[in-house]
Chain A
Amino acid sequence: MRISEAFQAALAATPGVDLLSYDDLSSGLALTACGRGSCGREELDRLAARAVEGFALVAGTPLPPGVDAGAFGSCLIGFGPGGAEVYARSPAAPGEAVSARCVPGTPLLPSVRAVLGLAFRLAEGE
């Protein structure tokens, strides 16, 4: 399945998300995106830049025993008065991420699971 098709399917199945982008973390740029309604280039690159900041924040964290260091930092949820965003990547492709803008008022956990699952599927080439 192509990335754009995977994004269309994920967007349709995840009512809590209205914008998905596929980001290159080394350049901080969105490579492709899919959203309900219009989504400007600035908004996509802002999402990608926040993903880069977020993953840099968690790098090298000394974790207590029992925490899966390989999985830690695979998924981040940024939030502020303007809403919430999810950034997810697979350990198999740490230089790429899926970023998502959440629909205000919707539960976060289903969106987090959907975005993380999408990132893992893309990294595994499904």
Chain B
Amino acid sequence: MRAAGTFTRALRLPAGGRADALLALLAGEGAAEGHLLPPDPTARLARITREIDETALPRALLLRTGAVEIGRIAVARRRVGAVTLPGLPDEPPTARSLAARLARIAAEPGAIALTVLRAAADPLATGTGCPVADLRAALASTASHGSLERLTARLLSRDAARLTWAGQDVAAQFSGAAEWRPALMHLSAAFRTAPWRGPGAEGMAIPLSGQQVVILARQDRQGLAAVLPLVFGLDAIGAWLRGEAS
């Protein structure tokens, strides 16, 4: 009986509006302090998926850089229902599409804070949502098989000219036959600034003739434009798509 009385007293809350305000605070965004994710995108993804794996009750994982929300993940029962990015329409929550969105969040510059919020309602209908194991598999698949590093390892052995860049605001580095510089600068200018669909590398091959091809490729803020022999370049892309070793 004594224990029951103590419990009753502990639950006694301030009357009226103060109680409502306190409950709203506990249920709302002020209930948890954000903690910073590691700066490395791969480590960030590992931290986010671990948080998902440890979340059984309905929660929203809020990701912010400073005061700006860059993403929100609806989670319950160790499954992801949606990854919402500001300004982007929702899309069917497949493992691949969810992984792509998480990779975009993880690639954001600056310090990212993760805050776990209580969800007002369960975001997942029974049997829906992407299990964290599927999400990890999708992330691993795109990171290893679809990486720019693996593609460039193939391409940059027989290029006649190349332009590489390692950041949106960083000047590109050119090498090779000077006659190709204006063309590669022009092609890369628009390619660098177009939205990256990630995760993994993506690109465009533009045959110049029956002998040569320009290949543009990028992943997040890194990329290259190169002039290559046509058959070699297309074979290299094919091998990269098949996940063959360099």
Physical interaction between A and B: yes
Kindly list chain B residues whose C-beta atoms are within 8 Å of the C-beta of A77. Answer: 204-207, 234, 237
Tell me the A32-75 residues at the B interface (CB within 8 Å).
Answer: 53-54, 56-58, 60-65, 67-68, 71-75
Per the bound structure, the CA–CA distance linking A52 and B206 in Å amounts to: 14
- A76 pairs with B204, CB closer than 8 A: yes
B39 lies within 8 A of chain A by Cβ: no
- A58 pairs with B237, CB closer than 8 A: no
- A79 pairs with B203, CB closer than 8 A: yes
Q: How large is the interface on A (under 10, 10 to 19, 20 to 34, 35 or more residues)?
A: 20 to 34
A125 lies within 8 A of chain B by Cβ: no
Question: Which of B43-51, B76-84, B125-133, B191-199 lies at the interface?
Answer: B191-199
Query: How many residues of chain B have a CB within 8 Å of chain A?
Result: 36
Kindly list chain A residues whose C-beta atoms are within 8 Å of the C-beta of B237. Answer: 77, 79, 84, 108
B180 lies within 8 A of chain A by Cβ: yes
Per the bound structure, the CA–CA distance linking A120 and B23 in Å amounts to: 68
- B146 pairs with A81, CB closer than 8 A: yes
Binding site for B on A (CB under 8 A): 53-54, 56-58, 60-65, 67-68, 71-84, 104-109, 112
Binding site for A on B (CB under 8 A): 96, 141-142, 145-146, 179-180, 182-183, 186-187, 190-191, 194, 197, 199-209, 216, 230-231, 234-235, 237-238, 240-242
24 residue pairs from A and B, CB less than 8 Å apart: A53-B194, A57-B204, A58-B187, A58-B206, A60-B186, A61-B187, A64-B182, A72-B208, A75-B206, A77-B204, A77-B206, A77-B234, A78-B202, A78-B203, A79-B204, A79-B205, A80-B202, A81-B199, A81-B200, A83-B241, A104-B242, A107-B235, A109-B234, A112-B234
